[in-house]
Amino acid sequence: MQQDPLDLYAALHTAPEPPLLAQLTRETHLQTLMPRMSSGHVQGRFLSLLSHLMRPRRVLEIGTFCGYATLCLGEGLANNGLIHTIEIDPEKESRIRRYVAAAGLTERVQLHIGAALDVLPGLVDEVWDLVFIDADKRNNDAYFEAVIEQVRPGGLLVVDNVLWSGKVLPDHAVKTGDKDTPLVRAFNDKMARDARVEPVFLPLRDGLLLLRKK
């Protein structure tokens, strides 16, 4: 499939994809059914930039997939920083751990296998500097509400796929049986008026919603 010219231009004017991540990208495309779920080059460099700017001590990632974003977020961790990442599919565990080890992050990434809403109650003692939500979209609001009180003032939540391939736009007709699009729309609308956060909606890739906790 031909790459969109704007995406290609952005990639050419973004810091190069590190070799380990390029290897993970190739493996993901060869061995998984939905490789587009991986954050990819430009979005990955953006997540790395956020991590470097914030130097977070505690990061929460909801939805690990193959670990691409995990490695990007790990690049800017504080010296004593730790990432808790949650993946529902146990078949992904081996690849995630292999690449976390190759990145030298074994001691700094704690992988949890299971449904996020089941795992999160066991992490109630953490205070999050940075949260990346990239799991099943119909639960965006549930994940947000589950973690917002643990995010420090000034901390950042990043929610992926908020454009939902353009289906969130008002003139897009929702197909019968599409339960995700109305929920993504509702979450986006809620965040636009939620007094607890300051939102910035970025049309990067499939849409990133940045939420600074007040």
pLDDT of residue 152: 98
**5-213: CATH, from 3.90.110.10, 3.40.50.150, 3.40.50.300, 3.40.718.10:** 3.40.50.150
Quick: pLDDT tens for 44-103: 999 999 999 999 999 999 999 999 999 999 999 999 999 999 999 999 999 999 999 999
pLDDT at 123: 98
pLDDT number for residue 92: 96
Write down the pLDDT at residue 1: 52
- Residue 132 structure tokens: 């990346």
Q: In 3D, which of 110, 100, 92, 93 has the Cα closest to residue 72?
A: 100
Query: Is the alpha carbon torsion for 165, 211, 64, 41 positive or negative?
Result: positive
Mention every residue, 6+ apart, whose C-beta is less than 8 A from residue 83.
Answer: 59, 60, 61, 70, 73, 74, 77, 105, 108, 109, 110
**Other beta carbons within 10 Å of 62:** 28
pTM for the full predicted model: 0.96
Q: What is the pLDDT along the chain (214 residues), one digit of tens a residue?
A: 567 899 899 999 999 999 999 999 999 999 988 887 889 999 999 999 999 999 999 999 999 999 999 999 999 999 999 999 999 999 999 999 999 999 999 999 999 999 999 999 999 999 999 999 999 999 999 999 999 999 999 999 999 999 999 999 988 888 888 999 999 999 999 999 999 999 999 999 999 999 999 9
